[in-house]
Amino acid sequence: MILVESSDDSPAITLSVSGNFDFSVMMSFQDAFNQGQANFSQFIVDLDGVDYMDSSALGMLLQLKEFAGNVPVTIKTSKKDVLEILRISNFAQMFTVVS
């Protein structure tokens, strides 16, 4: 499931992912970040609710990065398994990863 959060007080849009972050949520994820095309100066992807993540999730994050252009993308998670996948994939070099 993808939840989109934004507020008038913050220039960021947060995409919170829960459950399985895999091909089954691709359309929802793309729809969610397309909402952030105007008036936002940061994307935050919150992966604390992710139970499972596969290579298609990495592809979706890369799509978001390409879509965002010069807008910073931050990935938040405290889950060790997700952090390990991001580390092995060298995503910390392309994104800001916070735990």
CA distances to 37, 84, 93, 99 from 32, rounded to whole Å, are: 10, 25, 24, 22
Assigned token pair, 77: 């998670």
pLDDT digits (tens, 9 = 90+) for 44-78: 999 999 999 999 999 999 999 999 999 899 999 99
Q: Determine the pLDDT at residue 94.
A: 93
Q: Where are the domains of the chain?
A: 2-98
Is 37 a residue whose pLDDT tops 80? no
Instruction: Write down the CATH number for the domain with range 2-98.
Output: 3.30.750.24
Show the beta-strand stretches assigned E in the chain. 2-6, 12-21, 42-53, 73-76, 96-98
Residue 9 has φ and ψ, to the nearest 5°, of -80, -15
Q: Determine the pLDDT at residue 36.
A: 57
Q: What is the pTM of this model?
A: 0.91
